[in-house]
Chain A
Amino acid sequence: MGILEINQLHKRFGQHEVLKGLEMDVPEHSIFGLVGQNGAGKTTTMKIILGLLKPDSGSVTVCGEKVAYGETKTNRHIGFLPDVPEFYGYMTAREYLKLCGEITGLSQTKTKVRSEELLELVGLKNEKKRIGSFSRGMKQRLGIAQALLNEPKLLICDEPTSSLDPIGRKEILDILLAAKGKTTVLFSTHILSDVERICDRIAVLHGGKLALYGTLAEVKQRHRYNGFVLEFENVETAAIFAKSKELQHPSISTTRSGNTVTVLLTGCDLDGHFFLDVLAQKRIVPLKFVALEPTLESLFLEVVQ
């Protein structure tokens, strides 16, 4: 059973239908990357999970408990980092964590111990200033500390890395990776390299539904192209190969850039042997002959088109 289950979720804002029957299942102890373009509905989905928005239909279950809109009971299992975390500017980081601890009902000593641990983890241990003077990255890190305070079973982060510089991004990703052992992480992003760096599961949200879903390896396997990249000694040889009449077949698409030719096979029983035969016939020896690996980016572009 997943720690988070989403069933047939629908949500529209006026005429604009953002979620059209979203189905999702987040298993325990995974780092789950929710990928989607801006406006795909990632934030909307998260707000529904947290009971901050009312879905038009469908249900969300967290740790086996149903989420009810306007109520906050299921949120005790969840730590949430909003896309733009906002705090009370007049408090210090410690004061804020103390408030959070009191609200969750953590004991004072426990709050103190956890606060110190977490401030250490996110690198704000020696920060005595008020939150009002914090930079964007510092707020983001305090946001993570806050989210992890009550040792949640599920950590939800909304685009935690989007507005940060590369170093800040790496720091946040490292923190998420460190949290993996103790909690399940669901985070949204539109930066694919982040997903590749830390996620073990991925879902692409597009058109109000999941367009792609599974572990990274599974997804890549399922969407393996029947295609090859060939590199030749020079541009002329490449052109001869690309223009050869054997390749003018409806199920083969050929693209050449410089001395590299990419051939894609769609819906036919041709395979690598066919190209090897063509090469043998023309007595061309390529420098490279490699099967095409789908990158996350190509997959993403494919499903969102």
Chain B
Amino acid sequence: MDLAMLREYLPLLIPLVILQFALGITALIHVLRHPAYRFGNKVMWVIIVVFIQIIGPIIYFTLGRGED
């Protein structure tokens, strides 16, 4: 992808990036604030949530999140 293309489509990509960030950060805060997980540990979940975009937070919220 060349620069011209990037410049052309960047505004269209920004909402996507914002969504990914919003989800990732919500999940990250939750991981740090609720240290009881159904399985796994804090480091593992931080890595999953931060480095696997979209899917990571979904897996955390559906499978990894402990009871309140």
Q: List 7 A-B contacts (CB under 8 A).
A: A89-B67, A89-B68, A90-B68, A130-B68, A132-B67, A132-B68, A133-B68
Residue of B nearest to A132 (CB): B68
Minimum CB–CB distance from B20 to chain A (whole Å) comes to 25
Contacts of A133 in B (CB 8 A): 68
Contacts of A130 in B (CB 8 A): 68
Q: How far is the CA of A133 from the CA of B68 in the complex (A)?
A: 7
Contacts of B68 in A (CB 8 A): 89-90, 130, 132-133
Q: How far is the CA of A235 from the CA of B67 in the complex (A)?
A: 63
Residues of B within 8 A of A (CB): 67-68
Report how many A-B pairs have Cβ atoms within 8 Å: 7
Minimum CB–CB distance from B68 to chain A (whole Å) comes to 4
Q: How far is the CA of A130 from the CA of B68 in the complex (A)?
A: 8
Residue of A nearest to B68 (CB): A132
Contacts of A132 in B (CB 8 A): 67-68
Q: Mark A74-94, 1 if CB is under 8 A from B, else 0.
A: 000000000000000110000
Residue of B nearest to A91 (CB): B68
Residue of A nearest to B66 (CB): A132
Minimum CB–CB distance from B65 to chain A (whole Å) comes to 11
Contacts of B67 in A (CB 8 A): 89, 132
Q: How far is the CA of A130 from the CA of B67 in the complex (A)?
A: 11
A 224-271 contacts with B by CB, 8 A: none
Q: Mark A129-151, 1 if CB is under 8 A from B, else 0.
A: 01011000000000000000000
Q: How far is the CA of A133 from the CA of B34 in the complex (A)?
A: 12
Contacts of A89 in B (CB 8 A): 67-68
Q: How far is the CA of A89 from the CA of B68 in the complex (A)?
A: 6
Q: How far is the CA of A130 from the CA of B34 in the complex (A)?
A: 13
Q: How far is the CA of A89 from the CA of B66 in the complex (A)?
A: 11
Q: How far is the CA of A89 from the CA of B67 in the complex (A)?
A: 8
Q: List 7 A-B pairs, minimum CB-CB distance, nearest first.
A: A132-B68, A89-B68, A90-B68, A130-B68, A89-B67, A132-B67, A133-B68
Minimum CB–CB distance from A239 to chain B (whole Å) comes to 64
Minimum CB–CB distance from B12 to chain A (whole Å) comes to 36
Contacts of A90 in B (CB 8 A): 68
Residue of B nearest to A133 (CB): B68
Minimum CB–CB distance from B40 to chain A (whole Å) comes to 20
Minimum CB–CB distance from A142 to chain B (whole Å) comes to 15
Minimum CB–CB distance from B34 to chain A (whole Å) comes to 10
Q: How far is the CA of A133 from the CA of B67 in the complex (A)?
A: 9
Q: Mark A38-50, 1 if CB is under 8 A from B, else 0.
A: 0000000000000
Minimum CB–CB distance from B18 to chain A (whole Å) comes to 26
Q: How far is the CA of A133 from the CA of B36 in the complex (A)?
A: 12
